[in-house]
Structure 1
Amino acid sequence: MSGRSWALLFVLGGLWGGSFFLTQIVIRELPPLPLVGARLGLAALALLVYLRLRGISFAPLRQRAGDFLILGLLNNAVPFLLLAIGQTRMGGGLASILNATTPLWTILVAAIATSDERLTGRKLAGVMLGIVGVAVLVGPEAFGTGHSVPVYAFAAILAATFCYALSGVFSRRFKGVPPAVVATGQLCASGLMMMPLVLAVHGPLVYGDLSGGGAVALLALALGATALAFILFFQIVAAAGATNASLVTFLVPASAILLGVLFHGEALTAGEVGGFALILAGLAAIDGRIARLIHAQAVAR
């Protein structure tokens, strides 16, 4: 993966890590379903305006509406719903560990469905190291001791990660389509699916009590952590493949913790430092450049 793709991956991890803080603000004022519907709808509208201002053609949105519907289901509507179901009975720490299995599923799906993203021992070792790093990062309290987590909650989170793996590989079908168009098509499709459900369950007045602070957080969530984030995600998929793009799930909990340290004055623990180190080691193993450099130096001697 190129240096530019790595930089985009870390920026994307920061955006999605920040979404936890924004969601915590909005969720105090909106139920999960209206929050997700507004997040997707506002992001879709923003990207439609962006395409218009940039003079980018809307033609692919019409020509490939069916593909965008599938992508919206796999990458937004279905996993968002499954994650909401799972997190009703599971803490965010454990959910983030399960979510970090996304690259593992992506490696397996890509190895079966593509010819250029082969399953290698180095990739597998790097992913497993990253998953362990996330587990160390969030700490033993993620597994909880006060109550048991039902099987359906585990199944829901893992099914969501599998959806993400499928969507990452499926998005390769949009090769040659500008990433902003892919992001727009996906969000338009998922937004059109979610908003009728929101209105049917909660009615249009559900957004009436949203405070100024809640509205600002919702806009930031839609514009930064959704619209911009998915443009970056599809840029990474186009340049580096689905497996590399899925590695962002290792960085999301790490960036969320770092943002807490920087902006909330939270203390950084030894376990978190160790988790960061393991995640970076896993990413380095997958990248392979350090290993190749060490091998080249050994041969030179």
Structure 2
Amino acid sequence: MKGIPKKWIYLIVLSIVWGSSFILIKKSLVGLTPLQLGSLRVLFAAIFLLIAGYSKLKTIQKKDWKWIIISALLGTFIPVFLFAFAETEIDSAIASILNSTTPIMALIAGALVFSIGFTRNQFVGVIVGLFGSLLLIWSGSNLNPDQNYWYAGLVLIASICYAFNVNIIKRHLQNIPALTIAVGNFVVLIIPAILVLIFSDFFSEALITDRSIHISIGYLTILALVGTGVAKVMFNKLVQLSTPVFSTSVTYLIPIVALLWGVLDGEKFTIIQLGAGGIILLGVLLSNKS
């Protein structure tokens, strides 16, 4: 890959890793509840990152911990549960496409909170992207009437969380190494994740010799270590190497990977939904134009 800018390498690898995360969430939910999945995902990733970079914690200055905590909540803790609950009612491919609204959300968050102005193209892009999201939700509800497409809103809320997180990393954590940010994030989340896990009755259920739980934990381990732990470090680095809008552009490619996994797993997908996904991506592309 000599000659390819690092930011593009990170973008491509992340799109493959995160594009595969949606099907791993779906498979993990076979034997685990959303609360169990979210908390275990955080804990497994935390253990991995502490092993890899525990010594980095002492380099975090006191003034930076506030932003580390906020980044942990918005960039990891809240979204992992939102996606887990969402995929109990909507297909993994649909969730991945709705997640592609993140750059649009980043643009809105930048304008409303971080004083970054709109251009005409960006405003049009936001409107087009949001229209595509509504069309996707509507078409999905017609195709799969048994699915509750109100849960699609959970994915959009997660996208908003991601949008704020990238702006926070770029503005307040730019000079902290990516691994250090990730380790700090997950140290903060260990206690909340344990509390959620206890509340979910996981420890009593885990004693049951249910093969589905064991298989689900296998999928979850891959999701936590690669899709959360490694990917979190890579994404932090991508944000630092580029801009919030470029870094969230990874969501352009994620649906392609997720859609392939979804089709292989037997998920239904129509031309209308494909068109809605295309409209969302068009909106994202327009919102990236100056």
Please indicate, yes or no, whether the TM-score normalized by the shorter chain is above 0.5.
Answer: yes
Displacement, 1:140?
Answer: 3.7
Aligned to 2:168: 170
Aligned to 1:234: 236
Cα pair distance change 1:202/1:57, threshold 3 Å: same
Query: Are the aligned partners of 2:93 and 2:259 in contact in 1 as well (CA < 8 Å)?
Result: no
Displacement, 1:159?
Answer: 2.8
- Number of equivalenced pairs: 282
1-side partners of 2:32 and 2:122: how far apart? 40
SS at match of 2:56: coil
Q: Aligned ranges for residues 183-202 of structure 1 at < 5 Å? A: 183-202=182-201
Gaps of 5+ in 1: 292-301
Aligned to 1:23: 25
Query: Are the aligned partners of 2:46 and 2:229 in contact in 1 as well (CA < 8 Å)?
Result: yes
221-230 or 70-79: which moved more? Answer: 70-79
Query: Are the aligned partners of 1:130 and 1:250 in contact in 2 as well (CA < 8 Å)?
Result: no
Aligned to 2:46: 44
Cα pair distance change 1:11/1:65, threshold 3 Å: same
2-side partners of 1:131 and 1:13: how far apart? 22
2-side partners of 1:135 and 1:281: how far apart? 14
SS at match of 1:79: helix
Aligned to 2:103: 103
Cα RMSD after superposing both structures: 3.8
Amino acid at match of 2:201: H
1-side partners of 2:261 and 2:139: how far apart? 21
Cα pair distance change 1:207/1:244, threshold 3 Å: farther
TM score, norm. by length of structure 2: 0.76
Aligned to 1:217: 219
Displacement, 1:45?
Answer: 1.0
Which has the larger Rg?
1
1-side partners of 2:161 and 2:101: how far apart? 12
Aligned to 2:252: 250
2-side partners of 1:79 and 1:203: how far apart? 20
Query: Are the aligned partners of 2:87 and 2:95 in contact in 1 as well (CA < 8 Å)?
Result: yes
Match of 2:34 among 32, 35, 58: 32
For the pair 1:10 / 2:8, whether they are aligned, the reply is no
Displacement, 1:226?
Answer: 0.4
TM score, norm. by length of structure 1: 0.74
1-side partners of 2:58 and 2:110: how far apart? 28
Amino acid at match of 2:163: A
